[in-house]
Amino acid sequence: MEKHKTMEKHKPNPFDFVPFPNDSEPDLRTISEWLSVSYERATGSLTVQIEALTPVHIVGKQDTNNPSNDDEIRITHSAFWRSGGKPTIPASSIRGTLRSFIEAATNGWVSEITPYYKQERDKRQVGFMTIDAEDELKEGDVVDGDLPKMLPKAFRPKDRADGKIDLGSFLFGFVAGESAAKGRVQIEDAPISAKLDDSGQWQIPDIPGKALMGGPNPSAKTWWYMVPSGIRKRTVFARGRNQTIVDFLGSQFRGRKFYYHQAPNACLEYYTTKWKPPKGKKVESFPIECLPPKAESQSFQISFRELPLPILYFLIWALQPGKNFCHKLGYGKPFGYGSIRFHIVNVDVEPALDLPGQEVPPLEILEDADGYAWKAADFAKSDIASLLHMSSVLALARILYYKEPLQQIFVWPTFDANGFLPIVYDSEVRSALVAKEISNGFPNLLDLDEDEARELAEEIASMRRKGQPIKPALHFDVYQEAAEGYDDIQKRTLADALGA
């Protein structure tokens, strides 16, 4: 793909997507079928510790400067979450990290999704639904009924008549409609007795008033979170008159979002010295109390019940995917915080059934549970390969690749003409369509295929309005592919991530 030459180099965006594939759907089986993966089934527990690769922070109490005006409010300190007075990484955070990863690696259901985003003045001009959830709409909430549901149907958890569920649901449980299945994995909190770093050396970039990026804010009118499907005109009142602008419509969410690893201090320096904040704001930072790099949590248990051995091996792999393939957990992920490794320090396994004659299954792979024994070729031939969606695993491997020294910096697009802003006018889109020979114009709505959408976005990004770019961060892939260092990211292989 040829990069648009006139686009200036920028840093890549801090997150990327594991795409929802067009050519395959989740592997769904009944509980009996999942159990039948093998008649050798185990019950037991893994004793695990979390090692911080970059500082880890779980938000507890956050102090502010308490100004009278909300536009001036700043966080002055963020303390680590405590349970019973002790710093703790909550089990729900660990479980969420693991389940998100497993759902992506197996091309499974999306178990947690906001059902709709309502239209909101100054925040979201076009509301949309993600799943069939009309009964959840509250009175007064407005969504655009002409837009499709943004989560592809195949990935929505469903109370199916055949009782089939995905692997994530088999492991972690499932509730949908009148159906429910108890999970087979229990995860404990990870308490911390190591000394936390509250020296102030670890800081999160921020601006007074609202959060730096206002939190993830998926929009139905740009191609940032959404796969492009077309464009639509809309009339707005701006600068004292009615103007026709263009919404860039999507057919579905791009995929599951994961954050890249990066060095927090380098990232912070970039935000405070080079990044352009919203007009009138200055990037500052606040200190966070962290589990520092190389420090570990106390050990905690991940218990499992009646898992066929290949699925147990898969769970172990999901915890320790590779030498250079690491998870992220907690607060500050976009800024490099929360890169971790799980270390399995003990495995306790017994037959799933406590009945006479049952034997402990062979522990071949479990003898090296804390090792990273997967070579790429062996991996593809292993028992767990049949549970994986390999193109999704490759996408995960590229995003969650971790190798020191962490040199690549990832930052948000800026809040000016070089990033998400501004809106795009009908006349500009018409020029771009003509320039790319896509169309001579459009009455109201125009469908676009993937290539056409890409060309349109590249053309718009190369255009100038009063010398300023027009919305380079319109199309996610176009923006990333033009970023400095993104070529190297795309060259990462699964073998690199496995590291064996």
Partner 1 sequence: MSEQNTFRYKPFEQGVWGVLHAEWKLKTRTPLTIRSGAKAAFQQDSQERPKGRGLAPKLVWEKASPLLQKKDKKYSEIADFYYTFKAENGVLSCDYHIPASSIRGALRDSAIARKVEFENRALFSLMKKDKAVKQDENDTSASAQTLADIEKQIETAKQQLIEKRNGWYAILSLFGIAFNPSEDPENPLTWAGRLCIETNINQPENTQVTINDQQVDVKGGPQNIPRTVSLRSPVDRTTQSAKAAGGGLHYWLELPAGNTFTVKLQIANPTPSDVDLLDFWLREIEKGRLSFGALQSIGRGKVQTAEQTYALFVSPLAKYAQDLKSYPEVKFDHNQTDPLADFWQGAKLRFEQLKTIIEKG
Site for partner 1 in 180-199 (CB under 8 A): 183, 185-189
Rule CB under 8 A: is residue 468 a binding residue for partner 1?
A: no
Nearer to partner 1, 206 or 459 (CB): 206
User: Which of these ranges, 256-264, 338-346, 368-376, 401-409, lies near partner 1 under the rule CB under 8 A?
Assistant: 256-264
Hey, which residues between 25 and 44 contact partner 1 (CB under 8 A)?
31-32, 35, 43
Q: Which of 21, 30, 38, 96 binds partner 1 (CB under 8 A)?
A: 96
63 binds partner 1 (CB under 8 A): yes
Which of 4, 25, 30, 113 is close enough to bind partner 1 by CB under 8 A? 113
Q: Which of 6, 9, 24, 64 binds partner 1 (CB under 8 A)?
A: 64
In angstroms, the CA 318 to CA 436 distance is 44
Smallest gap from residue 239 Cβ to partner 1 (A): 28
Residue 153 as a binder of partner 1 (CB under 8 A): the answer is no
Mark the segment that binds partner 1 (CB under 8 A) among 227-235, 348-356, 393-401, 443-451. Answer: 348-356
Strands 128-129 and 226-238: unpaired
**In the complex with partner 1, which residue's Cβ is closer, 308 or 419?**
308
Q: Where are the beta strands (DSSP E) in 67-217?
A: 75-80, 82-83, 86-89, 116-117, 128-129, 174-176, 179-181, 185-187, 190-191, 203-206
| Contact criterion met (CB below 8 Å) for 102 and 168 | yes
Instruction: Give which of 344, 390, 343 is closest to 363, Cα–Cα.
Output: 344
Question: Looking at beta carbons only, is 187 or 438 nearer to partner 1?
Answer: 187
Q: Whole-angstrom Cα distance, residue 177 to residue 232?
A: 36
Binding window for partner 1 (CB under 8 A); candidates: 4-12, 54-62, 261-269, 397-405: 54-62
* Residue 165 β-bridge partners: 29
CA 92 – CA 110 distance, rounded (Å): 17
Beta carbon of residue 165, minimum distance to partner 1 (angstroms, whole number)? 15
Q: What separation in angstroms does the CA of 486 have from each of 5, 17, 155?
A: 15, 14, 28
Part of the chain binding partner 1 (CB under 8 A), chosen from 103-111, 276-284, 427-435, 462-470: 103-111
Q: 8, 24, 33, 92: which one contacts partner 1 (CB under 8 A)? A: 92
Q: Could you say whether residue 60 binds partner 1 (CB under 8 A)?
A: yes
Cβ pair 301, 444 in contact under 8 A? no
By CB under 8 A, residue 225 contacts partner 1: yes
- Told to check if 211 binds partner 1 by CB under 8 A, we report yes
Residue 74 binds partner 1 (CB under 8 A): yes
136 is a site residue for partner 1 (CB under 8 A): yes
DSSP string spanning 284-296?
Answer: EEEEB-BB-TT-B
Cα–Cα dist 86/419, whole Å: 42
In sign, the C-alpha dihedral spanning 270, 276, 419, 417 is negative
Spatial separation of the C-alpha atoms in residues 80 and 89, rounded to whole Å = 9
Among 2, 70, 162, 364, binds partner 1 (CB under 8 A): 70
Q: Before 413, cis peptide (omega within 30)?
A: no
**Choice between 91 and 194, CB closer to partner 1:** 91
| CB 109, CB 103: distance < 8 Å | yes
Of 296, 297, 271, whose CA–CA distance to 286 is shortest? 271
Q: How many residues bind partner 1 (CB under 8 A)?
A: 78
Residue 249 touching partner 1 (CB under 8 A): no
Q: Does 420 bind partner 1 (CB under 8 A)?
A: no
Beta carbon of residue 216, minimum distance to partner 1 (angstroms, whole number): 4
Phi and psi at residue 344, to the nearest 5°:
-85, 115
